Amino acid sequence: MTSLTISPTDLQGINDQVVIVTGASSGIGLATVQLLLRHGAKVFASDLNDMPLPEATQVSFMKVDVTSWDQQLAMFKAAVRAYGAVHHVFGNAGITMSNTLLEDTVDEHGDPVPPSLKTIDVNVIGILYTVKLGTHYIRQSGEGGSIVLTASESSFSRFQATDYTVSKHGVLGLLRALTTNLQPSTSTSTSTPRIRINAIAPGWTATGILPSLVLDTLGPGAYQTPDVVARSVVLLMADKQRHGQMVYSNKGSYYEIEDGERGFIQHGREILGEHYGDAIEGLRRIRERMEEAKVREEGGRGGE
Ligand SMILES: NC(=O)c1ccc[n+]([C@@H]2O[C@H](COP(=O)([O-])OP(=O)(O)OC[C@H]3O[C@@H](n4cnc5c(N)ncnc54)[C@H](O)[C@@H]3O)[C@@H](O)[C@H]2O)c1
């Protein structure tokens, strides 16, 4: 875990860049829009709800439900129409817990009913759509760029909100899986797209997702304001060296907890020792064999 400080000069690289923000009308998304505007970015904002003033007059905006592929596709196309390119995407829209799986709900026959998948739909399916479209449109810009995902402290803790915690572990999984499939624009390799991917993991933050009762229970000093989190988002976009990182923010302090000294990736190596390398190498070889098998199968079909 590496502590970091973020100064305004660290954010200068975002000037003139085109950024799409989902979940932009409130909380962390809105604070990020405000910070992006202050640093000269061109913002395309989206949310289920309208943007508040004055930001509503300063950004392009589209009402979008992130669980709809068609609506997200329309958002990316509209951003390209408005600004000519997409450089960075902030996949941020999210909702709180829908169920713990332990509610004993039954139908009229007394049979258990399936759990609501609403949180999974917004927090996982929504972000998968954002990333899929984001990689397509950032690639089209030809200049490289980055994606920032909103994970959470619950991505790496035993938080009791079951489906929410599952969803945020999913976001961390997405970061880890794509880190090796993408690469920074500073890389010279031509085999993988030049798109960086990073995540933020906010601790308790005073936003629309947390009822005031929760904030009162936590007490002052136990939570941070969303402008703190926004700085970690813009840093990850602006700093071209950052790739595969997750910045945890808690009570106003920042820690990089994936790649940093004693971060989770390093920790995995320490727990598994040489087996860690074996596992990574084993997975790489399996993936190569699967690709080979697919090519052969397609070749075989072509020859019929
Ligand atoms: N506040 C915290 O303590 C905290 C901590 C960790 C992670 N997060 C994450 O931060 C992200 C932002 O939430 P926030 O805390 O700013 O809360 P918020 O409620 O203030 O903002 C979330 C925004 O997302 C929008 N949204 C919800 N569902 C949507 C959908 N289907 N399509 C489009 N937009 C949708 C809402 O309208 C809202 O404007 C979420 O992913 C949340 O899980 C928050």
Instruction: Identify the pLDDT of residue 187.
Output: 63
d(CA 127, ligand 1 centre) in Å:
12
Cβ partners under 8 Å of residue 78, min gap 6: 44, 60, 62
- Ligand 1 and 91: CB distance under 6 A: no
Quote the CA–CA distance of 276 and 2 in Å, as a whole number: 22
Quote the CA–CA distance of 131 and 88 in Å, as a whole number: 11
- Ligand 1 and 228: CB distance under 6 A: no
Residue nearest to atom 14 of ligand 1 (CA): 27
Instruction: Identify the pLDDT of residue 126.
Output: 98
- Ligand 1 and 202: CB distance under 6 A: yes
d(CA 117, ligand 1 centre) in Å:
16
Cβ partners under 8 Å of residue 212, min gap 6: none
- Ligand 1 and 28: CB distance under 6 A: yes
Instruction: Identify the pLDDT of residue 13.
Output: 94
- Ligand 1 and 155: CB distance under 6 A: no
Residue 24, by phi and psi: left (phi above 0), alpha (psi -120 to 50) or beta?
alpha
Six-digit token pair at 184? 């920074």
**For the CA of 151, the nearest atom of ligand 1:** 7
**For the CA of 210, the nearest atom of ligand 1:** 1
**Residue ranges of the alpha helices (H) in the chain?**
27-38, 69-83, 118-120, 126-141, 162-179, 212-218, 226-238, 264-272, 274-302
- Ligand 1 and 208: CB distance under 6 A: yes
Contact present, 86 and 80 (Cβ < 8 Å)? yes
d(CA 279, ligand 1 centre) in Å:
35
b/e code 117-135 from CB counts within 10 Å (16+ = b): eebbbbbbbbbebbbebbb
- Ligand 1 and 150: CB distance under 6 A: yes
- Ligand 1 and 25: CB distance under 6 A: yes
Residue nearest to atom 2 of ligand 1 (CA): 205
> Is the pLDDT assigned to residue 252 strictly greater than 60?
yes
d(CA 170, ligand 1 centre) in Å:
16
pLDDT digits (tens, 9 = 90+) for 134-162: 999 999 988 889 999 999 999 999 999 99
Instruction: Identify the pLDDT of residue 1.
Output: 55
- Ligand 1 and 159: CB distance under 6 A: no
Mean pLDDT taken over the chain? 92
Helix (H, G, I), strand (E, B) or coil at 106: strand
Higher-pLDDT residue of 275 and 72 is 72
- Ligand 1 and 66: CB distance under 6 A: yes
Helix (H, G, I), strand (E, B) or coil at 4: strand
Contact present, 200 and 228 (Cβ < 8 Å)? no
Instruction: Identify the pLDDT of residue 189.
Output: 62
Per-residue DSSP letters for 157-218? S--S-HHHHHHHHHHHHHHHHHHTT---TT---SSS--EEEEEEEE-SB-STTS-HHHHHHH
Bridge partner residues of 148 (DSSP): 90, 198
Instruction: Identify the pLDDT of residue 275.
Output: 74
